[in-house]
Amino acid sequence: MRLMAMRVGRSSTIWAVVAACACALAGQAAPAAPAPALTLAQALARARVNSPQFLAAVAAVGVAQGARTQARAALLPSLAFNENYIFTQDNIYVANDGPHEFMSLGDVHESLDFGSRARLKWARAGEALARAQQEIAARGLAAVVTADYYTLVASQRKQATAGRAVADAEKYLSISRDREKGGEVAHADVIQAQLQLEQRQRDLAEAQLAQEQARLALAVLLFPDFNQNYTLQDDLGQVPPLPGLAQVQAMAAQHNPQLAAAEAAMEQARQEVGIARANLLPKASLDYFYGMDAHEFALRNQYGHTNLGNSVMGMLSVPLFDWGSNRSKLKQSQLLRQQAQVELSYAQRALVAQLQGAYAEAQAARGELATLASSRVLAAESLRLVGLRYQSGAATILELVDAQNSNTLARNAYNDGQVRYRVALANLQTLTGAF
């Protein structure tokens, strides 16, 4: 029995090991999901789905639409049906018609208020304001995503540049050591080359860190589960055209959400004055009732008379004295209207200044791309020539180091210039809309 138990234990252990190996092999064999390559348009679409600020603006539009529906409904008649039963103990004096009272009435109600139409206009202006704020949120989100998108693309380029600089520094360090062995240069050249290599290695580590931080910043905007397994399509080499200033100004005048929001806020403030003034005017209401109000729940009473009937009730309410409360509300609304007018005027002036500044930035960024590209090519050629001269003994180690630094700076400056132009276009489009 003991031998059989030992065999069973050994066999179970063997099978457990086999199962573990199979699971490990299965895990190794399972291919990893490919990282999605996102375009800028796809990144913007993902950000709209996951941005809480943009979704809050969308929800605000829905709330404003509900307020408009409610304000419009207040202008229309309403229909209600009321079913009541009142029981009163016998031989007790109460203000009821009898011990049993059944009321089954339909009520058509209409209110006549001088402020109702102003409330509807206020609600419509509120919906326009919410839509303008949604557009502001959408364009602001697009600018942020564009900046983060191309910052990550540029950081990947800078990481590749830093890796290439490390390889160049290693090559020239090897050349310096060979020349030192041949007695062509002093040991100071080797030390300078070693310092250059160490600096380039630190630059590579910093570029990797910057690339990782840029990836994390964009992942927060794009994925609800903080997924970092993605790649971006590098289209920095494609330079979008910049429209003329006249076209940009026309688009801003027609499609600027900040100006639309200020105009909607001004309209709301104007209607709030009307609402406050209506509180000083009479209010009327009309009710039409049809149904029964009887001692028994029946179409006819015990004498054969019908219990069904109709009645009309009108009411007029005239405000006489309220300790100045309504006039204070009117004064408040007038002050808010004045402030809204000031903010609208400021928004108009600010739009002109922002538009000119954003266009000048985009124009300058686009104009510098050609010289930045030329500088990149010249710096690479300078490094090649100085490297050949150093190998032949015609150049010093300091000239070589300077050429390496200039090449790295020129490549990074070109990438930064491309990102600057894309971000400038995105900022300009927050004022004009897409073009």
Helices (H), 182-322: 187-222, 245-255, 257-278
pLDDT reading at 335 higher than 90: yes
Q: pLDDT digit string (tens) for 229-268?
A: 899 999 998 999 999 999 999 999 999 999 999 999 999 9
pLDDT reading at 2 higher than 70: no
pLDDT reading at 409 higher than 90: yes
DSSP 3-state of 89: coil
What is the greatest pairwise CA distance in the chain? 136
> Which CATH number is 78-112+282-318 given?
2.20.200
CA distance 223 to 56: 17
Average pLDDT of the segment spanning 200-220: 96
Question: What's this model's pTM, rounded to 2 decimal places?
Answer: 0.82
Cα 323 to the center of its chain, rounded Å: 47
Cβ–Cβ < 8 Å for 214, 393: no
Cβ–Cβ < 8 Å for 420, 236: no
Mean pLDDT of the chain: 89
Cβ–Cβ < 8 Å for 293, 98: no
Which residue from 227, 241, 220 is spatially nearest to 141, judged by alpha carbons? Answer: 220
Cβ–Cβ < 8 Å for 164, 412: no
Delimit the CATH 2.20.200 region(s) of the chain: 78-112+282-318
Look at 295 and 348; give whichever has higher pLDDT. 348
- The CATH superfamily label for domain 37-74+129-281+326-432 reads Outer membrane efflux proteins (OEP) (1.20.1600.10)
- The DSSP code sequence of 239-258 is ------HHHHHHHHHHH-HH
Query: How many residues are there in the chain?
Result: 435
Delimit the CATH 1.20.1600.10 region(s) of the chain: 37-74+129-281+326-432
Instruction: Give me the pLDDT at residue 412, please.
Output: 97
Predicted confidence band of residue 1 (pLDDT cuts 50, 70, 90):
very low
pLDDT reading at 280 higher than 70: yes
